[in-house]
Structure 1
Amino acid sequence: MITGFKDFILRGNVVDLAVAVVIGAAFAAVVTALVDGFLNPLIAALFGSPDLSQAMTFTVNGAQFSIGLILGAIINFLLVAAAIYFVVVVPMNHLAARRKAGAEPEPEAPAEDVLLLQEIRDLLAERRTL
């Protein structure tokens, strides 16, 4: 039971997922700083409100709808996704391509006549041992 758990934890997928979660959390802090330090003041300059959630709201029968809140969440998601893609995924793909370029190519399958000659050789060698 412990061995199975150890095999599960040491699988590449679990390690990749753990790295993604940690990096995502770190980039979330960067995105929050970007939103609070740059985007919210920009929104305040354009819409007169320092936050998207307060900038685009409307009320219907006493219920308040906040389109700005949804737009803010979408912007945050896109910024985090872009940061992870350009800082983690693209360099890893380049590294994998470099490693693959240095690897030896798969040998081509021998031609049919070569296979036939190998079979004849093996039969002759077998006949000698009898």
Structure 2
Amino acid sequence: MLSGFKKFLMRGNVLDLAVAVVIGAAFGAVVNSFVKDLLTPLIAAIGGQPHFEGLTLKIGSGEITYGNFLNTVVSFLIVSAVIYFLVITPYERITARFSTPEENTLRECPECLSEIPKAAVRCRHCTAQVTPLS
């Protein structure tokens, strides 16, 4: 029973996932620090507000801290952009380069214009005789 669990843990994809989670968490911390300590103070200095994360909206006796929310949104956008441009786009280019195009095995019936296999001698829809294509 434990040997099966050990085999599961030692699979490459489980270890890859664990490494990805740790690196992702560390990268998220770096981006959060960048946004909180560098980017939003710069935006706040331009806007005249000393601390961007201190932006609040008071409604009655309640207080909405939308500055923290803006920090989180900016962090999310930066992480998403980095993942898209540095992971997804290169991966799609590489897979497109090494993938083989899928061969079309269908054609149109000359009588009813429905799709039939290229090797068909009779249309399955209208039963017209057709010459097979190789």
Shared fold per TM-score greater than 0.5: yes
Between the two proteins, what is the percent identity of the paired residues? 36
1:69-127 per-residue CA deviation (whole Å, 9 max, x = no partner) reads 111111111111111111111111111111214xx8569588257xxxxxxxxxxxxxx
| 1:111 equivalent among 114, 119, 125 | 119
Which of 1 and 2 has higher RCO (CA within 8 Å, sep 6+)?
Answer: 1
Q: Which residue in 2 is equivalent to 1:96?
A: 95
Q: Which residue of 2 aligns with 1:50?
A: 51
User: How far 1:16 sits from its partner (Å)?
Assistant: 5.5
Give the drift of 1:63: 2.8
Q: Match of 1:18?
A: 18
Query: Which consecutive residues of structure 2, in runs of 5 or more, have no partner in the other structure?
Result: 106-116, 122-134
Q: What's the C-alpha RMSD, in Å, of the aligned pairs?
A: 3.2
Residue in 1 aligned with 2:72? 73
Does the 8 Å CA contact 1:59/1:65 hold for their aligned counterparts? yes
Question: CA separation of 1:98/1:19 partners in 2, compared to 1, >3 Å: closer, same or farther?
Answer: farther
C-alpha spacing 1:3/1:96, structure 2 compared with 1 (3 Å): farther
AA matched with 2:75: N
- Find the residue that maps to 1:64 and give its secondary structure: strand
Change (3 A) 1:81 1:107: closer
- Partner of 1:45, secondary structure, is helix
Greater share of helix: 1
Q: Does 1:64 align with 2:63?
A: yes
In the superposition, relative to structure 1, how do residues 60 and 90 fare at CA in structure 2: closer, same or farther (>3 Å)?
Answer: same
Q: How many residues align?
A: 108
Q: TM-score, normalised by structure 1?
A: 0.61
